Amino acid sequence: MPDSEDFILETRGLTKEFKGFTAVDDVNLKVRRHHIHALIGPNGAGKTTVFNLLTKFLIPTRGTITVNGRDITATKPAEISRMGMIRSFQISAVFPHMTARENVRVALQRKLGTSFHFWKPVSSLNSLNARAEELLHMVGLDHFADAVAGDMPYGRKRALEIATTLALEPELMLLDEPTQGMGREDVERITQLIRKVSAQRTILMVEHNLGVVSTLCDRITVLQRGAILTEGDYATVSADPRVKEAYMGKAA
């Protein structure tokens, strides 16, 4: 199967209907290994729904999904994660009552296999602290290790999310609008960070900020009303008049 060599993720005829309304319409998406692949499109185009389908948070109405050549159409969400495909969420997804260190540690903890051990002291997790702090350092959160995640500024929460995701050493990361609602400085920092962590990984990201898309992404898929409008590199896609129209339509 030469296909599975090139493409880490592939969908065929992926469709999701909500009570007669088609949110995702016959999507054939191919994500090449080690690419940063962007999924863009106006509000309500179905981007988050595609993510929910890929990670099995939603069951597709029709169509198949393959990861590394393996059909995952019938796999459970937690299992998807254990296969090395980790998603983030459009709204920031930290554990608000835990510290930043604990947030990262709870991800590292999974591989320890002690998640059901209710008789062990929590100090048995201290061996993971060094790695947790290393990851926090990587995303520039050295000084936030003991901060309660819920109290951290928005941009820092998103950085913490990335650190938590990286703790699982994912082969494929799905980021849903990682720079949404951020100031310019934060956008810059997150962009750098994504570039840094993209080595030896594949990233599929939803992103509205076209500046970020143009600097980071190898390939772009444009979604409109649930269907793929066009696909290609930034120059091709940005020159396409239909893409401009789709975005104008959103503004009007």
Ligand X SMILES: Nc1ncnc2c1ncn2[C@@H]1O[C@H](COP(=O)(O)OP(=O)(O)OP(=O)(O)O)[C@@H](O)[C@H]1O
Binding site for other proteins (CB under 8 A): 55, 57, 76-79, 81-82, 86-89, 93-98, 102, 105-107, 109-110, 112, 114-122, 124-125, 164, 168
- Could you tell which of ligand X, Mg ion, other proteins, none binds residue 99, using a CB distance below 5 to 8 A set by kind? none
Q: Is 87 in the site for ligand X (CB under 6 A)?
A: no
Stretch that binds Mg ion, among 3-11, 20-28, 46-54, 167-175 (CB under 5 A): 46-54
Residue 174 Cβ vs ligand X, minimum distance, rounded to whole Å? 12
DSSP 100-165: HHHHHHHHHHHHHT-TT--SS-GGGGGGGHHHHHHHHHHTT-GGGTTSBGGGS-HHHHHHHHHHHH
- Residue 44 binding target from Mg ion, ligand X, other proteins, none, CB below 5 to 8 Å by type: ligand X
Which of ligand X, Mg ion, other proteins, none is residue 53 near (CB under 5 to 8 Å by kind)? none
Q: Which is nearer to Mg ion, 24 or 104 (CB)?
A: 24
Question: Cα–Cα distance between 210 and 170 in angstroms, integer?
Answer: 25
> What is the tally of helices (H) and strands (E) in the chain?
10, 11
Distance in angstroms (rounded) separating the CA atoms of residues 179 and 161? 12
Q: Looking at residue 82, what DSSP letter applies?
A: H
Q: Do β-strands 62-67 and 70-71 pair in parallel, antiparallel, or remain unpaired?
A: antiparallel
Does position 23 interact with ligand X (CB under 6 A)? The reply is: yes
Contact between 48 and Mg ion by CB under 5 A: the answer reads yes
The kind and range of the H/E element at 90 are none
Q: Which residues bind ligand X (CB under 6 A)?
A: 18, 23, 41, 43-49, 90
